[in-house]
Amino acid sequence: MLVFREIIERKHYEEQLKYNALHDMLTGLPNRRLCRDRLTSDIIHARCNQECLAVMAPATLR
């Protein structure tokens, strides 16, 4: 039972680390890394299926 509990705790800890790496800590929104990863995945999917892909993003303010 102890081993099972340790495995569950470890999985929970790993999921939390992954979430923290891909989301803003203050807002919980996806960060640039997650957005870039998803965009890359969508581009590959569109190319493989010979589909069009459009991306809308706000202009960066300086």
Query: What global pTM score does this model have?
Result: 0.67
Predicted pLDDT at 27: 94
Instruction: Give the contacts of 30 (CB within 8 A, at least 6 positions apart).
Output: 22, 23, 24, 38
More confident residue, 4 or 31: 31
Residue 34's Cβ-count burial label (10 Å; 0-12, 13-18, 19+) is middle
Predicted pLDDT at 62: 62
Predicted pLDDT at 46: 97
The answer to whether the beta carbons of residues 21 and 33 sit under 8 Å apart is: yes
* Tens digits of residue pLDDT in 6-47: 899 999 999 999 999 999 999 999 999 999 999 999 999 999
